[in-house]
Amino acid sequence: MEPVTLGILALIVLTVALMSGIRIAFATALVGFIGLWILRGYIPAASLASTIPQGHLSVYTLLVLPLFIMMGFFAYYAGITRDLYWAARQWLGHLPGGLAIATIFGSAGFAAACGASTASAAVMGRVALPELKKYGYDDKVSTGCVAAGGTMATMIPPSVLMVIYGFIAEESIGALLLAGFLPGLLEAFSYSLMLILRFKFNPSLGPPIKGITWSERFRSIKGVWGMVVLIFLVMGTIYTGIATPTEAAGVGAFGALLLALPRINFKKFKDAMIETARTTAMIFAIVAGVLIFVHFLGFTGMPAELSEGIVSLDMHPTLILICILALYLVLGMFLDGIGMLLLTVPIILPSIKELGIDPIVFGVLVVRMVEIGLITPPVGLNVYILKGVAPNVKMGDMFRGCGWFVCVDLINVAILIAFPQIILLIPNTMIQ
């Protein structure tokens, strides 16, 4: 059998395995090992499968993952999420759809401390949904805000997916983290603009909050100023080159612990450490399995063949990029974001570079498409997570509530494709 044919067959087998419910870490490792066995023999396959994950996962730069994850859990267990939401409520609640907009900006604030979208959706769901229910907001709007707001954690630094992409693409993780900042802000403001317009034309969706005084607004800042300073300190040290992303993540984790100390007990500290270990182990297991599979694909020569085929297409590079992003939109409806990046980027990235598209721009756009997949059926993970928080709301209503946000997301993607300078502005000025 030709190696390329074997690679295509392996992709089909892997797809079937994933659709049958096998965990991505085990499915990719098993299919990759069997493929290596067929191509190279048992001894070389066993040697590669045992050394590849250890060699790649022990690199210093990947320490950034558990440190940023730890930072997010400390922020959660310290109750900082509630403080962020309350401050947003006090300052934005008077606007049309004010509580919904506060949910968006509260999610954006928590995203700056938590790099996982599902965690952000779960936490903000517990914090914001009771308040939205109390004021009579439409269930579809409420759940849509929380689910879509949670996706910003994959874009606004510190983003786990940006770190994973930088690891695969061998691009600067610091530059990628900073590249997500302006697109993340664009996302938050465009969501809010859409909500203001919707509530202006249909006030029955939910009332603004009246009677909030300026003294209450200024008092609400007290609970969030420390976290805001911490985030700017972490991102600022990366931007100025004072610290590497890993060192900055260490500062962030320690700073979040200091902020949490007045409100955290030993049990919460232990829970934060256990959850950090579990999440890190899950991510590293997926990375290890996919690395075996990707190395197998490299031996088949399929990525090179695909790259040559894409580059030879008689189409404008931007049109090819749009087609690739459309493919990610479909994949995002079925696959976990980390697994999707690990499986596809090593195959597609050579073509992207040949087309002259900046890998950092491509990384932000791909992560943006992964975000959309988190709130689209049939497997929108953020919606499924939110169902556990709001069991009385129908799943169909949740997905319908996300529809407006998906439309805004697609407009944002078009803006980023047309004006990639939005993505590159901060990375291009950072001190290396």
φ, ψ for residue 278, nearest 5 deg: -65, -50
Q: Which DSSP helix (H) or strand (E) runs through 51? A: helix 42-57
How much is the pLDDT for 3?
A: 87
Whether the CB-CB separation of 208 and 89 falls below 8 Å is answered with no
Task: Tell me if residue 314 falls in helix, strand or coil.
Answer: coil
pLDDT value at residue 189: 97
Q: Which residues of the chain have pLDDT under 70?
A: 432
pLDDT value, residue 208: 92
Q: What angle do CA 319, 325, 326 make, to 5 degrees?
A: 90
Asked if 187 contacts 412 with a C-beta cutoff of 8 angstroms, the reply is yes
How high is the pLDDT of residue 307?
A: 74
At which residue do the structure tokens 């497997």 appear?
Answer: 379
Question: Is the backbone of residue 105 left (phi > 0), alpha (psi -120 to 50) or beta?
Answer: alpha
> pTM for this structure?
0.90
Q: How far is CA 137 from the centre of its chain?
A: 27
pLDDT tens string 259-276: 888 888 899 999 999 999
Q: How far apart are CA 411 and CA 384, in angstroms?
A: 25
So what's the pLDDT on residue 200? Answer: 95
**What burial class does residue 170 get, using C-beta atoms within 10 Å of its C-beta: 0-12 exposed, 13-18 middle, 19+ buried?**
exposed
Q: E strand or H helix at 224, and its extent?
A: none
Q: What is the pLDDT of residue 21?
A: 80
pLDDT score for 412: 97
